[in-house]
Amino acid sequence: MRTKVKFTCTRWCFIFFLFLNHPTPVLPAIENDTLPPALESEPYLYLMGRRKMIDAQLKCYNRMQELPPYQGQGLFCNRTWDGWLCWDDTPAGVVTEQQCPDYFPDFDPIEKVTKYCDENGIWYKHPEHNETWSNYSMCNAFTPDKVKNAYVLYYLAMVGHSVSIFTLSGSLGIFTFYKNLGCQRVTLHKHMFLTYILNSIIIIIHLVEVVPNPELVRRDPLGCKILHFFHQYMTACNYFWMLCEGIYLHTMIVVAMFAKEQQLRWYYLLGWGFPLVPTTIHAISRALYFNDNCWLSVETYLLYIIHGPVMAALVVNFFFLLNIVRVLVKKMRETQEADPHMYLKAVRATLILVPLLGIQFVVFPWRPSNQVLGKIYDYLMHSLIHFQGFFVAMIYCFYNNEVQATLKRHWAQIKYQWEQRRESRNPRRPNFRAAAAAAAAAEAEAGDIPIYICHQEPRNIESASILGEEKAEVIPMEIIEQESCA
């Protein structure tokens, strides 16, 4: 059986809203009992599934004619089509199995179908109907365990994107409020944060309004397809803004040899403009060739129109970053200057995030068929996908030492000002707290800032060497606010 990419999040969400609308189905026990009434009123996916089943039946009959006669010894069961799947000649007394079909959404193609050939060379017959029977009971996608797993993944997505919106909004506020942190690279950070915030908002709207509303999906309004279009567009923007981060660092460090400024309009074009191309092509192709309800299905290779450029951006970005590290390591061996160390620390965040956020496209593109490994895969990949914004905010902002030092300094100044106002109301009270707050402010002001977001060079190197200390220079707030960063 050929291996195909599984985008399990949308599949489980689709199973979730189908479960809300329909009771647990009972799969037919008799072969060829597959024709429901009201064919013209069936959803698009069921019509597509019926076409796939007819194609499979045609291929099965052709295969039975082309295969040579049974070459084994003893009794055997003849090749047959049971209404859903094709079965080859099977020796007597053997239970044969194959993957469940993926014709309809209420089938689980990860599970197995079994068919028994008895000792007399006759396919097993169901005792109630006395007709040949294949065991499709494991193919039910609505078993209690699977429904419970779908609920868990649904709420995991809700929590992940809510946490991502909260942390990203805080990071965006920090980079906007503190002007001393502003520079070209931080501008790229803010645009990338914005794409993740918008994407998480769109996904939450989709999970709240579309997934649990089967009546809306059945009506298939234009609005849910527009929502899907913007979701795919923002997803592509996420990764292309990350590519902009890699290109910016590569241009500054490798190409321009520590250049100070670049023209950002090309980055805006790549980050916001280019993703429109594959997203628009995908939307047009989907409308023409696979126009399912609300475009919920992931069982189409048209998704590669978007995921192909995304994977290419991830691979290119990763090699950019490897080349940057190579150049910086080489420069550190040749010179003892602080620049390469400073730039290497600036590259570290992007070097961590690229494989972390691209792992679901590059490293684990196929879901394991084993049930336990498949469940581990689901939880791992969903955690990485839905908490992407959280990882981006933590690594680019909250774990950055320069941001931490700025926040500590600002907090110390607030405490000092509050103590000063409190002392002014009670002048007789000893000013121990104000003195402690002033000491804390001075300590925060003189704190070590080893990671330079804007790649500012350390100053007062001579005075630091005289004192025999290797640490970053303390740049006063007035100077930082007046100067533009490289």
Cβ contacts of 336 within 8 Å, gap of 6 or more: none
From residue 396, how far is each of 175, 302, 403, 407, 457 by CA, in Å? 11, 33, 9, 15, 20
- Count CA within 13 A, CB hemisphere, residue 486: 18
pLDDT beyond 50 at 142: yes
**pLDDT tens-digit series, residues 393-407:** 998 888 888 888 889
With tokens 């996916």, the residue in question is: 45
Name the residue among 27, 109, 20 with its Cα closest to residue 36: 27
**pLDDT tens-digit series, residues 201-234:** 999 999 999 988 888 888 889 999 999 999 999 9
**pLDDT tens-digit series, residues 289-301:** 988 888 988 878 8
Q: Quickly list DSSP for 278-338.
A: HHHHHHHHHHHH---GGG-----GGGHHHHHHHHHHHHHHHHHHHHHHHHHHHHHHH---S
Cβ contacts of 28 within 8 Å, gap of 6 or more: 34, 83, 136
- Band (pLDDT 50/70/90 cuts) for residue 323 is confident
- Band (pLDDT 50/70/90 cuts) for residue 447 is very low
Cβ(393)–Cβ(168) below 8 Å:
yes
Indicate the pTM of the whole model: 0.69
Indicate the residue type of 50.
R
b/e map 107-130, b = 16+ CB within 10 Å: bbbbbebebbbeeebebbeeeeee
pLDDT of residue 431: 54
Which residues on adjacent β-strands are paired with residue 90? 77
Cβ contacts of 367 within 8 Å, gap of 6 or more: 6, 8, 110, 374, 377, 378
Tokens read off for 12: 């489980």
pLDDT of residue 288: 93
pLDDT beyond 90 at 325: no
pLDDT beyond 60 at 1: no
pLDDT beyond 90 at 353: no
pLDDT of residue 73: 84
Per-residue pLDDT averaged across 441-462, rounded?
45
Phi, psi (deg, nearest 5) at residue 97: -145, 160
Give the C-alpha separation, 167 to 160, whole Å: 11
Q: Quickly list DSSP for 229-288.
A: HHHHHHHHHHHHHHHHHHHHHHIIIIISSS-S---THHHHIIIIITTHHHHHHHHHHHHH
b/e map 407-416, b = 16+ CB within 10 Å: ebbbebbebb
Local structure of residue 92 (DSSP, 8 states): T
- Band (pLDDT 50/70/90 cuts) for residue 184 is confident
Per-residue pLDDT averaged across 31-43, rounded?
43
**pLDDT tens-digit series, residues 61-113:** 998 898 888 888 888 899 999 888 999 999 988 999 998 888 887 788 888 89
Q: Which of 17-21, 171-175, 330-334 is predicted least confidently? A: 17-21
Give the C-alpha separation, 220 to 378, whole Å: 28
Higher pLDDT, 134 or 443: 134
- Count CA within 13 A, CB hemisphere, residue 177: 10
pLDDT beyond 80 at 409: yes
Per-residue pLDDT averaged across 124-147, rounded?
84
Cβ(80)–Cβ(123) below 8 Å:
yes
- Band (pLDDT 50/70/90 cuts) for residue 38 is very low
Give the C-alpha separation, 88 to 178, whole Å: 70
pLDDT beyond 70 at 446: no
pLDDT beyond 80 at 381: yes
pLDDT beyond 80 at 338: no
* Interior angle at CA 34, CA 33 and CA 37, nearest 5: 110
pLDDT beyond 60 at 182: yes
Mean pLDDT score across all residues of the chain: 76
**pLDDT tens-digit series, residues 147-181:** 888 889 999 999 999 999 999 999 999 999 988 88
Q: Which of 306-315, 328-337, 432-441 is predicted least confidently? A: 432-441
pLDDT of residue 370: 73
Query: Dihedral (C-alpha) 81, 82, 87, 90: value to the nearest 10 degrees?
Result: -120
Percent residues over pLDDT 70 in the chain: 70
pLDDT beyond 70 at 482: no
